[in-house]
Structure 1
Amino acid sequence: MPAKKKMKRIVAATGILAIVAGAALAVPLVIGTPSSTPEPAQTASSAAATASKVLPPAPAVTYYEQAGPPAGSPLEQVEPLKVDVSKDQMGTSLNKGLTGISLEATDLADPDLSSSNATMVKLLKEADQPVLRFGGNAVDRRFFWTSSGEALPSTYRGDAAHPAKAVGPADLTRLNTLLEAADAKVSLTVDLGHFNPARAADMAKNASQIFGDRLLSITVGNEPNGFVFNDARTDGYSLEKYVSELKAYAAAIYAVAPNVPISGPGAYDQKWWQPFIDADIPQKKILSFHLYPQYSCDGSDPKGSPTIANVMSRLMHDRAAEYQQAAVKAGRAAGLETWVPETGIAACFGSNETSRTHASALWTADYALNAAQLGITRIGFHSSLLTCKGGPPMSAICSGGKYPEGNGQMSGRANFFGMSMVAELNAGKFLKLNSSGGGLTFSYALQNEDGSTTVVLVNENNPEKAAQTEVTLNLPGQALTGTMSQLTGPSYAAEDKTVIDGAKSEPVPLAQRATVPGFTYGSESQKFKLTAGTVTVLNFTY
């Protein structure tokens, strides 16, 4: 892990002090990553702007040192970005635990999911109160729950990298130690591929007793809309049959664990949403759906193919938003929360040009923020516990060691750092804003519980070619402090080069962050530059 850059303190020069209504104005002290070029934090315009308000004396600041464009890069100018943040709320919130990890149900048997695995505890803490969701293709094919030590049936088959596994209460108890150590929660999926409501209810009963309030939901089956296409069921499976079986499972679960919410349908086909909503299930609380925006694995739809050009496009952002909006609308009408418990850039197996790249980190941060702004409350990025080398390249986390199972020393990939930028945000209410210019930049604003404002700017302009973007940010108040944290990478295609505040780690704690370069003390309007290919989190107090 690269060392944090040494901090230096920049003391306000005598020439930039001003007296307003008898109060001496200096510069706020903020600890963080320093800038190589000190900039004045008090100007004549800011003094005039605050003439009607007596501001407290403020100490010196340390400016954030932002990564610049590569030397000699063929810079392309970007239209200046103007963002006006309103005091009016949008009606949606960013909650802690928004971004989580989705895993296969068979991973419940993995001994690495334990509080004794320090690397796993560290990752989940960096994800800040995440949900671990267990489901995936494994649950209806090669996952066998037993609370009595039954042998794995011979009909359950897998392969070397994806073996069939039996899971029991001891596995849930071990997992619970991890959840407690990392302050995480869990969502489970029960096997619908082998119709057995009683076995599913037994799993729900044990899970409820072991996890308690950490168990957020149970889903019946994984992507049941796909059963007829992937041989999970060979008995002519239909939507009508799903609803009938869903009711049988829900009734059995309710009889032994009535307080556990049911989520569903966990499908990737929109026409399955309403039948789930209309099903008479007493513990139905969550509408869930799966979404992989790049679905054209054979290239038949060029705009849906897994390419960096598609990922770094406004079309991809808008496509995902349109689908998410439809789900939120359906969920709200029924009084249900809306989750995306399984998602990722592409639905395609194996590697593609978006895998493991810095572009995936930028996409992840924007995708999560936009989903939350629309009203989605939980997102699970589908991942694996297999090795970094040879394992699923889309996975946000992976193990060191030899393929397939590795040594259990877990680390995060670029998309995990995109998750971390969002996970470290304070819970808050989304604010309305107007933005213009900025090329491929997406803007978000939050009102925090302490009255501060957080602004997130996802600058998806090409970091190899685009010049820094001139930003004018108009805030809903006169800022006394303005701090900054930033995710960066040298190019869209760069692998294992994404960093946050100069290190492969979570963002610097809010109280220790450096000041936005060019910060104007006491002003509602802030002007600064942003490097392309970055996710920048700005926090302002008044």
Structure 2
Amino acid sequence: MPATSPSPGGSRGGARRWWPVIVLVVIALVLAAVLVPRLTGDPDSPRPTASPTASPTQDPADQLLAEGYDPDPGPFSLPDPAEGEKAAQDPVSVRLRASKDATTWGENLGLSFEATDLASPVWGSQDSNIDEMLGAMDHPVLRFGGNSVDRRMWWTSSDEPAPDWAEATVTPADLERVARAARKAEATVILTVDLGHEDPQRAADMVAHAKDAFGDLLQGVSIGNEPNGFHDPQQKHLEARGSSWGPAAYTSQLEDYASAIREEAPGTPIVGPGAYDAPWWRAFADSGVRDKTAMTMHWYPLWDCQGPASSIANPTVDDLTSPKLRAQARKLVGMGKEAADAADLPLWMGETGPTSCPGTNQTSRTHAQALWTGDYALTAAESGAELMAFHSTLGACRGGAPMSPLCARGTKDDPAQILQGRTSFLALLQLGQIAEGRVLTPTVSGSGRVMAHGVMSEDGTLSIVLVDMRDPSSDEGPAPVRISAPSGVGKDAPDQWHPEQGSQLTGGSLEGHSSTLGAMAPVDEDLRSRTLSRGDPITLESEPGSTTVIRLAPGPQASTD
């Protein structure tokens, strides 16, 4: 019936019934005019609602803001097997093997920040949601260092005026604020002290206050950040020492600093060298420093900022998702592991990320970065890295570091204190869903575009992670992945497992600037009916452009009768 037609109650009654509809239409048009430009513009522009976790009645300072995260996704399911032309001709075959010296997964991932971020007002602030962002991760590691520590950070415990070169002054009060946030997030801390300006006593004073502030949360102290870059003719803007600087000079300074730290803060765990060159690893390992706790290396796989097409380290989506990059990670992390083993030290990846190239590039903020983050973290763990910190900043989403998992929702000049997570932050949340246990060594058939990883818990729980680097915008369908029961797990290991929970990270395209992630959820009827046993592999479907985590409980499926 037309809205203008008389109703049984008369024309005025009919008009009154339609007024709410007219008002809703007008409101919808106004909202569309406001929201559409924001939603179709810069992916890092502030949004009126940040994520499905946001509540319009809750203060942003009390919220986890991660666009694309669904805390209540409903039953977890896998895509239907592909048919016809989209069907994979052969399943991807996966074998998993346990070893006695396997890396332990759990509470081993976190974020690396610039040392200047220690002075940020977000730490311990009631106006910031940093507690909620860090608390959503699995007992994260918070590492402070970066290029700023040796060039732009000034420490004082006595209110001395900062030198001209300092961009940020850090005080004991700052360390206390960071410590409060770390305790709320159940995080540990790695601190780097300034080696760029020769001042062992000042560094020792900072460490003493750090031990007071952090207590047993202080996992390690590094003396200098990437000392191999203090004198590099190709990077004059990072010059921190003269032409005589090298591994021998570093060793001498390292021992002086360590001695001063030992006097002021006995028993402090020393880690290092935080470098990407083997000679510097050996310099740290062979030094006379006491209380050496871990060997730390840094690595950004896409370092060839203007490389030739033949390079596998260009900051492009193609290189970021190439199986060749995974092979390179195994090689480089393996080299670090060998050096650490020779020194009888664990290997930590103190600072890492997709690329060290400055500014925005093809990989920045993409769904491909999220896929890479999950695959790389597990690959590095399989290769011997016991801890990893992905480099981040507290800068603005627009104008700040484009590769950072976190960013602030203010402006470049005033980032403010409300943080949100990007695609790679979602990947870190998903990695935290993997149950703690021993990392298994995978052998996977096929091209390497579909990769599988596994973690075996002490209670027999088996976590399977499928990372599918195929472009989700292509015509390819789900790939069947046939997984055999893990070997080398011991006589007391279960004989069978069944899927219990799952989650999936997805996106519309590799180049897209958004990803979606559901919280771990009970599997649907189809998945629950499948079983993995020693004589019978389980087949799981992998969707292009996804990272899938399936948690399999030990024993047969419980009866639903």
Give the TM interval when normalised to the shorter protein: 0.7 to 0.9
Q: Shift of the alpha carbon at 1:435?
A: 2.7
Following TM superposition, by how much is the alpha carbon of 1:335 offset from its aligned partner in structure 2, in angstroms? Answer: 1.3
2:360 is matched with which residue? 351
CA gap 1:443/1:117 in 2 versus in 1, 3 angstroms: farther
- Partner AA of 2:153 in structure 1: F
Identity %: 36
1:479 and 1:351, CA in 2 relative to 1: closer, same or farther beyond 3 A? same
Q: Which residue of 2 aligns with 1:228?
A: 231
CA pair 206-523 structure 1, distance change in 2 beyond 3 A: closer
Partner residue of 1:499? 516
Counterpart in the other structure of 2:497: 479
CA shift in 2, pair 1:148/1:78, >3 Å: farther
Matches within 5 A, 1:53-64: 62=75, 64=77
The answer on whether the counterparts of 1:359 and 1:492 sit within 8 Å (CA) in structure 2 is yes
- Any unmatched runs of 5+ in structure 2? 1-50, 55-70, 233-237, 487-494, 556-561
Kindly report which structure 2 residues correspond to 1:63-212, keeping only aligned pairs within 5 A, or say none.
Answer: 64=77, 66=79, 77=88, 79-86=90-97, 88-89=98-99, 91-114=101-124, 116-154=126-164, 156-157=165-166, 164-212=167-215
Matched, 1:283 2:256: no
AA aligned to 1:457 is L
SS of structure 2 residue aligned to 1:304: coil
Distance 1:33 1:94 in 2: 29
Q: Which amino acid aligns with 2:266?
A: P
* Aligned with 1:256 (options 259, 264, 283): 264
Partner of 1:378: 387
Question: Which residue in 1 is equivalent to 2:452?
Answer: 443
Partner of 1:303: 312
Kindly provide the CA deviation profile for residues 2-40 of structure 1, in whole angstroms up to 9, marking residues without a partner as x: 389xxxxxxxxxxxxxxxxxxxxxxxxxx9855xxxxxx
Deviation of the 1:144 alpha carbon: 0.7
Q: Secondary structure at the match of 1:537?
A: strand
1:294 to 299, 302, 321: 302
> Which structure 2 residues correspond to residues 214-225 of structure 1 after superposition, within 5 A?
214-225=217-228
Aligned to 1:92, the other structure's residue is in SS state coil
Do structure 1's residue 362 and structure 2's residue 362 form an aligned pair?
A: no
Q: Cα 1:83–1:249, aligned 2, differ >3 Å: closer, same or farther?
A: same
Residues 1:206 and 1:520: Cα distance change in structure 2 (over 3 Å)? same
Q: TM-score, normalised by structure 2?
A: 0.79
Q: Secondary structure at the match of 1:482?
A: strand
Q: 1:459 to 1:115 in 2, by over 3 A?
A: same
Per-residue deviation at 1:523? 4.8
Deviations along 1:147-171, one digit per CA (max 9) or x if unpaired, are 00111112x15xxxxxx11111000
Cα distance change, pair 209–89 in 1 and its aligned pair in 2 (3 A):
same
Change (3 A) 1:250 1:104: same
Which residue matches 1:57?
A: none
Aligned residues between the structures: 468
How far apart are residue 356 of structure 1 and its match?
0.1
Matched residues in 1 for 2:543 and 2:530: separation?
A: 23
Note closer, same or farther for the CA distance 1:320–1:404 as it changes in structure 2 (3 Å cut): farther
What do the CA deviations read for 1:469-509 (whole angstroms, capped 9, x no partner)?
A: 012223353224432211111110010x21112xxxxx33x
The answer to whether the 8 Å contact 1:32/1:63 transfers is no
Q: Secondary structure at the match of 2:428?
A: helix
| Aligned equivalent of 2:401 | 392
Aligned positions of 1:233-248 closer than 5 A: 233-234=241-242, 236-248=244-256
What SS is found at the alignment partner of 1:485?
Answer: strand
Contact 1:90 1:431 in 2 (8 A): no
Please give the secondary structure, in 2, of the residue aligned with 1:219. strand
User: Which one-letter code corresponds to 2:222 in the other structure?
Assistant: T
Partner of 2:52: 2
How far the C-alpha of 1:68 sits from its partner, in A, is 10
Q: Which of 547, 550, 554 is the matching residue for 1:538?
A: 550
Q: Is the 8 A contact 1:151 1:166 kept in 2?
A: no
SS state of the match for residue 420, structure 2? strand
**What residue identity is the alignment partner of 1:97?**
E
User: 8 Å contact 1:78–1:467 — kept in the other structure?
Assistant: no
CA contact (8 A) 1:396 1:415 kept: yes
Moved more, 332-341 or 514-523: 514-523
| Distance of 1:489 and 1:113 partners within structure 2 | 32
Alignment equivalent of 2:342, drawn from 310, 330, 333: 333
Pair 85,252 (structure 1): closer, same or farther in 2 beyond 3 Å: same
> What is the one-letter code of the residue matched to 1:80?
P
Report how far residue 236 of structure 1 moved. Answer: 2.9
Could you tell me how far apart the structure 2 residues matched to 1:403 and 1:63 are? 39
Offset of residue 468 of structure 1: 0.7
Aligned CA distance change for structure 1 residues 293 and 209 (closer, same or farther; 3 Å):
same
Q: Deviations over 1:366-413 (max 9, x none)?
A: 111111122211111111101111111011100001113412111111
How far apart are residue 146 of structure 1 and its match?
0.4
Structure 1 residues 115 and 451: alpha-carbon distance in aligned structure 2, compared to 1, 3 A threshold: farther
Report the CA distance between 1:516 and its aligned residue.
7.6
- The 1:369–1:115 alpha-carbon spacing in structure 2 relative to 1, beyond 3 Å, is farther
Q: Distance in 1 between matches of 2:361 and 2:222?
A: 30
Mind listing any 5+ residue stretches in structure 1 that lack a counterpart? 5-30, 35-61, 158-163, 502-506
In the superposition, relative to structure 1, how do residues 243 and 318 fare at CA in structure 2: closer, same or farther (>3 Å)?
Answer: same
Residue pair 1:365, 1:422 contacting (<8 A) in 2 also: yes
- Does the Cα contact within 8 Å between 1:519 and 1:528 map onto a contact in 2? no
Inter-partner Cα distance in structure 1 for 2:442 and 2:272 = 33
Deviation at 1:89, TM superposition (A): 3.4
1:125 Cα deviation after fit: 1.5
Aligned to 1:28: none
How far apart are the structure 1 equivalents of 2:176 and 2:93?
51
